[in-house]
Amino acid sequence: MIDWTDRFVAANKFNTLFIDLSANVRYRRRPEMNGSEKIYSLEDLRRFGRFCRDHFIDLCPAWQVGGHANWWLLIGYHPELREKGWWNQADVTHPDHAPIVYDCMLDVIEALEPRYVSPKSDEWWHKPRKGESPDRLLRGKTRAQAFLEFHINLHAWLKRRGLTMIIFHDMLSPFHNGKRFDTYRVIDSFPKDVIIAPWSGRDVEKEIRYFTERGFRVWPNATGLFTLSDESKNRVMGFGKGIYSFGNDRVHLLDEYSPLYSMSNLLRVADEAWNFSQTRKSDQARLVAAQQSLCIRPNPHAGSRVEPLDLQPLYNTRLAAFLKAAKPADYAALSKPIDLPRGDQRIGFVPMRLSRGGEDCVALGKGSAPVVLPVRRRFSSLFFLHAALVHDPNDKAVAGVRIRDWMYGWPCATYTVHYADGSQEILPVRLTDNIKRLDTASATRATLSTRYAWTLRDANSQPLHLFQWEWINPKPKQPIEKLVIQHDDVLDISLLLFAVSGRTVRGE
């Protein structure tokens, strides 16, 4: 999380980070909510808060309160707080709701020491539950009254702690979801120091005028991407990009292009926020290159040479044959689906050695035995040229809740570095982090950690991408005895490894 914030927030000169950690924090005051997906301790958050302050980043921790509360509060923890008639709506009038939510917020507030806090507050009463009829009133209150009272109480609670509340716009807007139960009519009773964050590009110019004319500060937080007219730019005081799962494009296993999840739009918004007079839209190829440049990690022990390792004895598959078998609709009629280059290549300016003939990749699927690459050298880093292929985009092993566990990317494989002294380093290979689908969309071929995507053309003139990931060795003085390559055996995904190179250690 710190590494991602350093590269994609601080490096792009964003000065506020709106981040929803609600489903992944181990709460001290509410230990009954601490399931296996709770990977961040409060000490982790204290460290993260210090990092952000040191890098001039103001934090805004967020929770899905009311709408979408299933994400962190209802399912598996407090189903009694669900409002009857709705699948993912919490009943904010339930007497236990505020104590639980406030306890969770207070744990995180004390750890992060933020300037802002957000209950999000978007899309209340969004998904009706079949077979249930909602009550007409909530403990004697209309839903508009319940919405208003919850936010007034939370605002006062935060203000006593010196915190500013940020909420999404839609339930207060007559142009969006505010028509539901007439919640938009309570806007004149809302505290004017609440910051309104429009997230949808639908009627965004109208939304900005509507809220600023009523005295609110407006900070658009685009989930997709929208640009602003000069008139709107003069009205707003902030502009950002809403992302999901650290911006790694995980709509589902096929990680198809979506402006909602695209990391590229984070870079486009950085341009927009810092260059309000700019009218030229960013080139997609430039955005891919910019993201790849942000994936390069410092290597303080880097030597001057990169030496390819020999994978020839390990190759077990020809890529062309693999494609014919895996995607018969695209390749079965072709005698040669792709012509993979042979021998030594410079890929992303890095020397790498491909097959000299015959089989040309190491292919590991679910259930495959591990393979071992002898190394017996010191290296300051290793470069992997690899790709993945998703066989079943509807894999039953992927339940919706798993996104809370796999926010860093889908499990694919593991590379284990074995040192001569008997120690090991585990290198998780995660789809959308340091590897991606061979046939992923070109617009989103950049990942969170790969320094280069080598694009080839198949016999159908369609792009196929191999991804180059550099792993920085934390023990460069210790010889690497071997590298063990194995499938994670979680999802129906094939790992395709084409080449491995090592950068020498400085002075050797």
Helix ranges (DSSP H) in 71-135: 97-112
| Amino acid at site 327 | K
Residue 275 lies in a domain: no
Instruction: State how many domains the chain has.
Output: 2
pLDDT for residue 485: 98
**pLDDT score of 281 more than 80:** no
Coil, helix or strand for 47? helix
Angstrom distances, CA of residue 167 to CA of 60, 194, 219, 254, 369: 11, 7, 10, 32, 50
Predicted confidence (pLDDT) at residue 279 exceeds the cutoff of 70: no
Residue 286 lies in a domain: no
**45-59, 78-92, 141-155, 196-210: least confident range:** 196-210
Residue 221 has pLDDT above 80, yes or no: yes
Q: What is the CATH number of the domain that holds 357?
A: 2.60.120
Backbone angles phi, psi at 457, to 5 degrees: -115, 130
The rounded distance, in Å, linking the Cα atoms of 409 and 404 is 10
Average pLDDT over residues 412-440: 96
- Output the pLDDT for position 176: 96
Query: Looking at the predicted structure, is the pLDDT value of residue 71 above 70?
Result: yes
Whether 261 contacts 249, CB under 8 Å: yes
Three-class DSSP category at 330: helix
Domain enclosing residue 172, as ranges: 2-242
Helix ranges, 138-246 (H) = 143-159, 204-212, 230-233
Phi and psi angles of residue 207, each rounded to the nearest 5 degrees, phi first: -65, -45
> Using CA atoms, how far apart are residues 369 and 359, in angstroms rounded to an integer?
18
pLDDT of 392 > 90? The answer is no
Q: How far apart are CA 138 and CA 97, in angstroms?
A: 13
Tokens of 412: 């694919």
CATH for 127: 3.20.20.80
Does residue 252 have a pLDDT over 90?
Answer: no
**In-domain check, residue 77:** yes
388, 500 Cβ separation under 8 angstroms: no
Cβ partners under 8 Å of residue 30, min gap 6: 100, 103, 104, 107
Angle between helices 97-112 and 143-159 (to 10 degrees): 30
* Alpha-carbon span 175 to 184, nearest angstrom: 9
Q: Is residue 298 classed exposed, middle or buried when 0-12, 13-18 and 19+ CB atoms within 10 A define those classes? A: exposed
Average pLDDT, integer, range 103-122: 98
Does residue 201 sit within a domain? yes
Same domain, 125 and 36: yes
Q: Are residues 313 and 216 in the same domain?
A: no
Residue 53 is assigned to a structural domain of this protein: yes
**Is residue 494 a part of any domain in this protein?**
yes
pLDDT score of 225 = 77
Residue with the bigger pLDDT between 441 and 496: it is 496
117-169, pLDDT tens digit by residue? 999 999 999 999 999 999 999 999 999 999 999 999 999 999 999 999 999 99
**337 CB-contact burial (10 Å; exposed 0-12 / middle 13-18 / buried 19+):** buried
Boundary residue ending a domain (242, 257, 283): 242
